Amino acid sequence: MASEQPPSPPAAEPAATTLIGLGGDLLREIFLLLPSLPSLVRAAFACRTFLDAVRSSPAFRRRFRELHAQPLLGIFFDPDGPAIPAFAALRRRDDPDRRAAVRRGDFFLTGLPDDDDDARPGWVISDCHDGYLVLEHIYTREALAYNPLTLALDLLPPLPDEFYEGFQGHYNGLDYHVHAPEECRDHGAFRVIYACHDDSRARAAVFSSDSDARAWRVLPYSEALRTIPESGEREHWLTAGRIVDGFVYWVYSDEAAMLVLDTTTLHFSRVDLPDYLKGQTSMFRVGKTRDGVLCVVVAIQFNLYVWLRNIRDDGVEVWVRGQRFQLDDIVEDTGGTLEEHGQLKVVSVVDGVVYFSTHETFEDANLPCWFLSIDLEENALDMLFQRNYDSHVHPYIMPWPRSLVRDKACLQVEGA
Task: Write the pLDDT tens digit of every residue in 59-115.
Answer: 999 899 888 888 999 999 998 878 889 999 998 888 899 999 999 999 999 999 988
Residue-range domain boundaries for the chain: 20-68, 71-113+282-405
Burial class of residue 62 (count of CB atoms within 10 Å of its CB; 0-12, 13-18, 19+): exposed
Residue 411 has pLDDT above 50, yes or no: no
Residue 185 has pLDDT above 70, yes or no: no
Average pLDDT of the residues in 331-357:
92
Q: What is the pLDDT of residue 240?
A: 87
Other C-beta atoms lying within 10 Å of the C-beta of residue 41: 21
Residues 6+ apart with CB under 8 A from 96: none
Q: Average pLDDT over the chain, rounded to whole?
A: 88
Average pLDDT of the residues in 165-183:
89
Q: What is the pLDDT of residue 121?
A: 87
DSSP E strands in 237-391: the ranges are 238-244, 247-252, 257-262, 267-272, 284-288, 294-300, 303-311, 317-326, 345-350, 353-357, 369-375, 380-387
Residue 365 has pLDDT above 70, yes or no: yes
CB of 202 closer than 8 Å to CB of 225: yes
Return the percentage of the chain with pLDDT > 70, whole number: 90
Residue 416 has pLDDT above 50, yes or no: no
Residue bearing the bigger pLDDT, 188 or 387: 387
Burial class of residue 370 (count of CB atoms within 10 Å of its CB; 0-12, 13-18, 19+): buried
Q: How far is CA 84 from CA 69, 109, 364, 388, in A?
A: 29, 8, 24, 16
Task: Write the pLDDT tens digit of every residue in 237-270.
Answer: 898 899 999 999 999 988 889 999 999 999 999 9
Q: What is the pLDDT of residue 231?
A: 62
Q: What is the pLDDT of residue 20?
A: 65
Average pLDDT of the residues in 381-397:
93
Task: Write the pLDDT tens digit of every residue in 130-163.
Answer: 999 999 999 999 999 999 999 999 999 999 999 9
Q: What backbone torsions phi and psi does residue 400 show, to the nearest 5 degrees?
A: -70, 125
Q: What is the pLDDT of residue 363?
A: 84
Q: Which ranges in 11-91 belong to alpha helices (H)?
A: 24-31, 37-44, 48-55, 58-67
Confidence of residue 415 (pLDDT cuts 50, 70, 90): very low
